[in-house]
Structure 1
Amino acid sequence: MLVSVSSYIYLHGFASSPYSTKAQYLRDRFWEHQIFLKIPDLNQGDFSHLTLTRQLEQVASEFPDSETPVTLIGSSLGGLTASHLAEKYSQVRCLVLLAPAFGFIDRWLSQLEEAQIRQWQESGYLSIYHYGEQRSLPLHYQFLIDASQYSERQLQRPVPTLILHGRNDEVIPIQSSRDYASQRPWVELVELDSDHALTDVMPKIWQAIQKFCQL
C-alpha cells in the first residue's frame, strides 16, 4: 500500500502531457519510495481553451483534505502554476520548480511578429505545436489575456522552494530563475548543465528532490 505524509502533485508543462519523459520518470521514482505522485492532465481534453486560471482551479480541486500538506512539482508553465497556487493556498508547503516559466509571456510575444499577434487577436486562435499530441493545435487568444493578469511580483509567500534550471535553456533563460531566487531568501536555485527539457539530468534532479523533500 502506498502511503505518504504529504500529497505530491506533478504539473506538466505547456503543450505537454502527463506522459512526458519527466512526468513518467518522477512517477516511477516516487513509486519506488511507496509514494503516489498525482499527475493531472492540464489539457483537460481542450488545449485550445487552456488558461492559467483554468489550470489553477483544476489543480486546486485535486488537493486532498485541508489537513494534508501538499508538495507541488511543476515543469515550465506547470512551475509557474505551482508558484501561484502556493501563493494562494497555505496547504501548499513545498515547491519544486523545473525551469519555471517566469516571464514567459513577454518573451513569447517578443518572438512573434506584430502581424502574427494581430492575426491571433483578430482570428481568435494561434497554431501551437503540442508535444503531447505530436501535432499542431489552435490556442485561443484568451490564453494571453488571462496570463497577463499574473505576475511574479505577486509571489511573496515564503514557501520553501527548490528551483532546478538548465544553464543552456533556450526557452526560459536561466536568468529569470536567478532573478526570482535573488529576491526571495526561501528559494534555493540549482543550476544544471542542460537545456529546457532537462531530460538528460533527471537522475540529478531526482537526487535533489529526495534531499529537498526529505524522502
Structure 2
Amino acid sequence: MTRLTILYCHGFASSAHGVKAGFLRRQMADRPEVDFRAVEFNPTPRDFEYLTVTGLVNRLRQYVVDHHPSDLRLIGSSLGALVALNYAHRFGGVDRLLLLAPALAYRRHLLLSAGELARWETEGVLYVEHYGFETTLPLRFDFHRDALQYTTSPPPPASVRILHGRGDEVIPIDESRRYAAAYPDRVALVELDADHGLTGCLEALWENVQEFLL
C-alpha cells in the first residue's frame, strides 16, 4: 500500500513544534498509513536571520528530494502557505494543499509602515519576536528584497482548501475570499470564527484534514 505523505510548512517566526504542528502530529500518531512530517525552516537563529521566501521554497524542495515522499500533500500555515503554494506551482508533484490563514502573496504594508521599511533598509536588519526560539532575532533586509518576487499569487497548482479566521488581525480574510472567488473550481474557502493563530479551532482543523487530505 502506498503511504500518504503530508508535509507541514510552519509560519513566519514559528517552528515545526508550534501548536498546530504538534496537534496534528499527535492526531496522526495512530494513522500508520500516513507519514506526517513538519518541516523545520529555521533550525537555528542564524537560519532565521538569512531567511528568504525563495530560500524556504528551495529548502522544501531539498527536503522532498532527500526523502522521496509518495502521494504528497502539503499543509501551509501563514507564510508557510506562500511557500507551499509556490513550491507546488514551481515543481508540481503535489496532490492537494491545505492552507491555514495563508499569506497568498507578499504584502509589506500589512506588516510595516513606509518609515519602518526605510529604517530596516538603512540598518540592514529588523528585530523580530521569534515564537519558536522565544527570543528576539535579527532578520536581514534581503527578506524584503526577495519577497518582492512574490507579490502576486500563483494560480492554484492543485486542489486547494483554505481555512481562514474572520477575526484574523495579521492577514485579513479578504484576500482568501478573492482567491477563492477567482478559482471557484480549484479553491474552497472555509471561514472560521478565529484569529490568525487558529489555535482555538483545532478540532475544525482536524475535521478538514480528515475530509480533504486523508
The TM-score, its normalising length taken from structure 1, stands at 0.91
User: Hey, what's the Cα distance between the residues in 1 that align with 2:114 and 2:37?
Assistant: 38
User: Does the Cα contact within 8 Å between 2:107 and 2:151 map onto a contact in 1?
Assistant: no
Q: Paired residue for 1:200?
A: 200
Which amino acid letter does the alignment assign opposite residue 27 of structure 1?
R
**Per-residue deviation, residues 143-162 of structure 1 (Å, max 9, x unmatched):** 00001011334x12441111
1:85-164 equivalent positions in 2, closer than 5 A: 85-109=87-111, 111-114=112-115, 116-153=116-153, 155-164=154-163
Unaligned runs of 5+ in 2: none
Q: Paired residue for 1:179?
A: 178
User: Does the Cα contact within 8 Å between 1:97 and 1:162 map onto a contact in 2?
Assistant: yes
Q: Paired residue for 1:47?
A: 48
Q: How many residues in Structure 1 have an aligned counterpart in Structure 2?
A: 208
Could you say what secondary structure the match of 1:170 adopts?
coil
1:19 shift after superposition:
1.0
RMSD: 1.7
User: Hey, what's the Cα distance between the residues in 2 that align with 1:50 and 1:77?
Assistant: 12
Which amino acid letter does the alignment assign opposite residue 151 of structure 2?
S
Q: Paired residue for 2:83?
A: 81
Which amino acid letter does the alignment assign opposite residue 7 of structure 1?
T
Q: Paired residue for 1:24?
A: 22
1:124 shift after superposition:
0.8
Could you say what secondary structure the match of 1:78 adopts?
helix
User: Does the Cα contact within 8 Å between 1:104 and 1:172 map onto a contact in 2?
Assistant: no
User: Does the Cα contact within 8 Å between 2:126 and 2:139 map onto a contact in 1?
Assistant: yes
1:99 shift after superposition:
0.4
Which amino acid letter does the alignment assign opposite residue 76 of structure 1?
S
User: Does the Cα contact within 8 Å between 2:156 and 2:187 map onto a contact in 1?
Assistant: no
User: Hey, what's the Cα distance between the residues in 1 that align with 2:30 and 2:204?
Assistant: 16
Identity %: 38
User: Hey, what's the Cα distance between the residues in 2 that align with 1:141 and 1:158?
Assistant: 29
Q: Paired residue for 1:65?
A: 68
Deviates more, 1:171-180 or 1:56-65: 56-65
Change (3 A) 1:104 1:168: farther
User: Hey, what's the Cα distance between the residues in 2 that align with 1:179 and 1:40?
Assistant: 28
User: Does the Cα contact within 8 Å between 2:2 and 2:71 map onto a contact in 1?
Assistant: no
User: Does the Cα contact within 8 Å between 1:4 and 1:36 map onto a contact in 2?
Assistant: no
**Per-residue deviation, residues 55-100 of structure 1 (Å, max 9, x unmatched):** 001111111437x231010100001110001101221111000000
**Per-residue deviation, residues 149-192 of structure 1 (Å, max 9, x unmatched):** 11334x12441111000000000001111011111120010000
Pair 1:7 & 2:9 matched:
no
User: Hey, what's the Cα distance between the residues in 2 that align with 1:126 and 1:39?
Assistant: 26
The TM-score, its normalising length taken from structure 2, stands at 0.91
1:206 shift after superposition:
0.6
1:107 shift after superposition:
3.1
User: Does the Cα contact within 8 Å between 2:92 and 2:157 map onto a contact in 1?
Assistant: no
User: Does the Cα contact within 8 Å between 1:128 and 1:138 map onto a contact in 2?
Assistant: yes
User: Does the Cα contact within 8 Å between 1:102 and 1:172 map onto a contact in 2?
Assistant: no
User: Does the Cα contact within 8 Å between 1:105 and 1:144 map onto a contact in 2?
Assistant: no
Which amino acid letter does the alignment assign opposite residue 87 of structure 2?
L
User: Hey, what's the Cα distance between the residues in 1 that align with 2:157 and 2:18?
Assistant: 30
Could you say what secondary structure the match of 2:54 adopts?
helix
